[in-house]
C-alpha cells in the first residue's frame, strides 16, 4: 500500500482517512450519495455497454453499477474499502452476475494488474476522493489497451460563479469530508498517453461531467 505524500501545495487526502470515511459510508451509501448519482452512472454505463471486451471499474464501491453492465462484457472491480467491497460481493452473489470476473481490494495508485489489459477502464465519482489522483489516472492509462478508452465521471470545480465560491470554502476540509470540493479537471488531463475524445454534463442538474479519453496506440505515441 502506498503512503500518501504531499507532492504539491494542494490539500491531499490521506488513504487512511479515505478508508475511515467509506467504512462509515458503507451501510448508507446506496440510499444516499449512491441514489443521487444513479442517473449519471447509468448514462456512463450505457456508453460502456455499447463497447466490447473487458472492463475495469476503479472504485467499484458497493457495486451499484455491476447489475447495469451487459453480459457480453467481462467486468473487474477494484476498491480500497474492505467494507464497500463486502457489499459489492454480496450483490454479485445474490444476483448471479456471472459477467463479473472478480472484485479485488486494491490501491488504485498501484494496481496489481498487467499493462495494456483492459478495453475500457472507468472511474465513477472517484478521482476527487482519492489521494494522488494523477497517479490513479496514470495507472488507469497503464492497464488500458492501446486504442481503448479511459472514462471518468466526476464533479469538477467551476471556474466562476457563486458555486465556485462555495467549493473553495469547503476545500480546507477535504480530509474530513473525504473529497475535494474544488477539484480541477486540469489535474487529470496531463497523462501523455491519453487524448480527450468527449466531455458532457450528467444529471442531476449537470453537476457531474462524463469525460472520455482514448489511449493512444503505440505507433501514435512514437510519431
Q: What's the CATH number where 91 sits?
A: 3.40.50.150
| pLDDT of 174 higher than 50 | no
Look at residue 10 and tell me if it is in a domain.
no
In this prediction, residue 24 carries a pLDDT of: 67
Look at residue 131 and tell me if it is in a domain.
yes
Look at residue 44 and tell me if it is in a domain.
yes
Look at residue 199 and tell me if it is in a domain.
yes
For the segment 161-187, the average pLDDT, to the nearest whole number, is 51
C-beta separation of 92 from 103 below 8 A: yes
Look at residue 223 and tell me if it is in a domain.
no
Task: List the strands of the sheet with 194-202, edge to edge.
Answer: 100-105, 74-79, 54-58, 118-124, 144-154, 208-215, 194-202
For the segment 26-34, the average pLDDT, to the nearest whole number, is 80
Number of domains present in the structure of the chain:
1
Round the average pLDDT of the chain to a whole number and report it: 83
Look up the domain containing 57 and give its range: 15-218
In this prediction, residue 206 carries a pLDDT of: 82
In this prediction, residue 219 carries a pLDDT of: 63
Look at residue 8 and tell me if it is in a domain.
no
In this prediction, residue 131 carries a pLDDT of: 84
**What is the pairing mode between strands 118-124 and 54-58?**
parallel
Tell me how far apart the alpha carbons of residues 212 and 189 are, in angstroms, rounded to a whole number: 11
**Which region among 22-36, 79-93, 99-113 has the lowest average model confidence (pLDDT)?**
22-36
Classify residue 60 as exposed, middle or buried by CB count within 10 Å of its CB (0-12, 13-18, 19+): buried
**Which region among 16-20, 201-205, 209-213 has the lowest average model confidence (pLDDT)?**
16-20
Look at residue 182 and tell me if it is in a domain.
yes
Strand partners, 200: 210
Look at residue 63 and tell me if it is in a domain.
yes
Amino acid at each position: 500500500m502506498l503512503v500518501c505524500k504531499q507532492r504539491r501545495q494542494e490539500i491531499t487526502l490521506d488513504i487512511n482517512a479515505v478508508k475511515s470515511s467509506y467504512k462509515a459510508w458503507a451501510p448508507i451509501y446506496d440510499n444516499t450519495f449512491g441514489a443521487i448519482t444513479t442517473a449519471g452512472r447509468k448514462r456512463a454505463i450505457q456508453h460502456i455497454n455499447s463497447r466490447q471486451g473487458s472492463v475495469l471499474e476503479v472504485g467499484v464501491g458497493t457495486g451499484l453499477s455491476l447489475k447495469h453492465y451487459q453480459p457480453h462484457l467481462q467486468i473487474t472491480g477494484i476498491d480500497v474499502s474492505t467494507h464497500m467491497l463486502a457489499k459489492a460481493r454480496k450483490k454479485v452473489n445474490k444476483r448471479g452476475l456471472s459477467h463479473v470476473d472478480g472484485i479485488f481490494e486494491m490501491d488504485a495508485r498501484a494496481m496489481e494488474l498487467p499493462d495494456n489489459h483492459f478495453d475500457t477502464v472507468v472511474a465513477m465519482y472517484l478521482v476527487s476522493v482519492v489521494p494522488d489522483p494523477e497517479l490513479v489516472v496514470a495507472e488507469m492509462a497503464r492497464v488500458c489497451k492501446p486504442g481503448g478508452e479511459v472514462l471518468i465521471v466526476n464533479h469538477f470545480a467551476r471556474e466562476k460563479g457563486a458555486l465556485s465560491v462555495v467549493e473553495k470554502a469547503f476545500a480546507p476540509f477535504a480530509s474530513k469530508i473525504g473529497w475535494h470540493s474544488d477539484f480541477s479537471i486540469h489535474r487529470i488531463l496531463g497523462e501523455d498517453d491519453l487524448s480527450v475524445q468527449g466531455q458532457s454534463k450528467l444529471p442531476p442538474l449537470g453537476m457531474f461531467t462524463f469525460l472520455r479519453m482514448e489511449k493512444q496506440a503505440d505507433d501514435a505515441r512514437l510519431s
